[in-house]
Structure 1
Amino acid sequence: MNITPSRDDCVYTSCYCEENVWKLCEFIKAEKPEMLGEVFAVFISNDDRMIPLWKWKSGREGDEPAIWDYHVILLYASRGQSWIYDLDSELPFPCPLMLYARLAFRSDRHLKPTFHRKLRVVSADGFLLTFASDRSHMKDNEGAWHSPPPPYPCIHTPNCSMNLEDFISMESSVGWGQIFSLSHFIQQYAHSNTI
């Protein structure tokens, strides 16, 4: 089910996954508002800020995962089917959740606990209303960019210019949405316990 533009037509900036997903949510709200209630921003991280993800578009050698502090994907969950939209993955866009789980997430069972993934699931509408980033996390101590920023202005709310940490945090007392372990996320949205 494609609720976004094609991968090539999406607003995309490398290393700004949270903004890429925000832009997808913005598009869905403008073009397919009736579907917005079934769309979620999913922040993936953990307390150690070390999460492995496979099938990364950057062309890693062999079967090695990329290890990131966090990543953000879009989830569309409708009528018993769930799809992942991940502009940084080499998997299909969109990708059925179970295929994405099997190939990109794999399982926490064979990973050291420091690599176990947690997922913060935030409604698309809530994400659009509350998320703010001044992109300061993408600058070094000298003020130089780690990676060039998107060409559009920073995303902010009327009351906030930066709250990215509240979304990356996997503390349930912080931020918005609901936090899941990887297995509980799969059970919730794919009705399966095979991951």
Structure 2
Amino acid sequence: MDIKKQDCTYTSCYCEENVWFLCNTVQNKHPDDIHGCFCIFISNERRAIPLWRQRASKREDGQVVWDYHVIFLHQSSNFGTVVYDLDTTLPFPCDFNKYYEESIKDEKCLRKEYHRKFRVIPGAEFLKTFASDRSHMLTQDGRWMSPPPVYPPIKTEENSNNIQEFISMEKNNHGVVLSLEEFLEKFTNSDRT
């Protein structure tokens, strides 16, 4: 699957929409690969999750504490699992093991309230069910926290805004919520040491 970073739709601070478009590109241009694609919402009950090697960081190690972040994974028998993260300083795509070691990292050094959970949604399901009117990006006085994309909001026939259901790490109908250990078990490439 050959997708170049410069060909992707990207708006800073709208990672869920960036991933939706990436997933849509796969479905349209590489339909045989869609079954191996997953959209991953990373968050927790506190909505404070540290990730490293993020472009938005001003720190040398690239650490940022997001309320949530969304990445795209492609799993294949030929290449194992690779991560597509349009907000990282790591390669695009990046080998899953490298992404884990440099961006997600182990939780042993983190306080419990910063432990991450991972909502794993198959790509085709994400395209059919995700909707956002972008209201979560408005301040109380109606200003944008970050300028919105120029294209119209993503919606489905049934819904115009269900993003909070995806960000939430409570169990619901959108994919499955995994701990870090379960996430690694599902996606780690076998040569990880």
TM-score range, shorter chain: over 0.9
**Aligned residue runs from structure 1 range 1-20, under 5 A:** 2-4=1-3, 6-20=4-18
C-alpha distance in structure 2 between counterparts of 1:177 and 1:162, whole Å: 17
Matched, 1:58 2:39: no
Matched, 1:87 2:86: yes
Superposed CA RMSD in Å reads 1.7
Deviations 1:95-141 (A, max 9, x none): 00000000000111111000001000000000000000000001111
Number of matched pairs: 192
Deviation at 1:59, TM superposition (A): 4.3
Deviation at 1:11, TM superposition (A): 0.4
C-alpha distance in structure 1 between counterparts of 2:156 and 2:137, whole Å: 19
C-alpha distance in structure 2 between counterparts of 1:64 and 1:151, whole Å: 28
Letter of the 1:127 counterpart:
F
Could you tell me which residue of structure 2 aligns to residue 134 of structure 1? Answer: 133
Letter of the 1:190 counterpart:
T
Q: Which moved more, 1:176-185 or 1:93-102?
A: 176-185
Could you tell me which residue of structure 2 aligns to residue 74 of structure 1? Answer: 72
C-alpha distance in structure 2 between counterparts of 1:166 and 1:58, whole Å: 25
- Counterpart of 2:88 in 1: which secondary structure? coil
Identity %: 44
C-alpha distance in structure 2 between counterparts of 1:165 and 1:143, whole Å: 19
TM-score by length of 1: 0.94
TM-score by length of 2: 0.94
Q: Which runs of 4+ in 1 moved over 3 A?
A: none
User: Does the 8 A contact of 2:56 with 2:64 survive in 1?
Assistant: no
Structure 2 unpaired stretches of 5+: none
Deviation at 1:3, TM superposition (A): 3.7
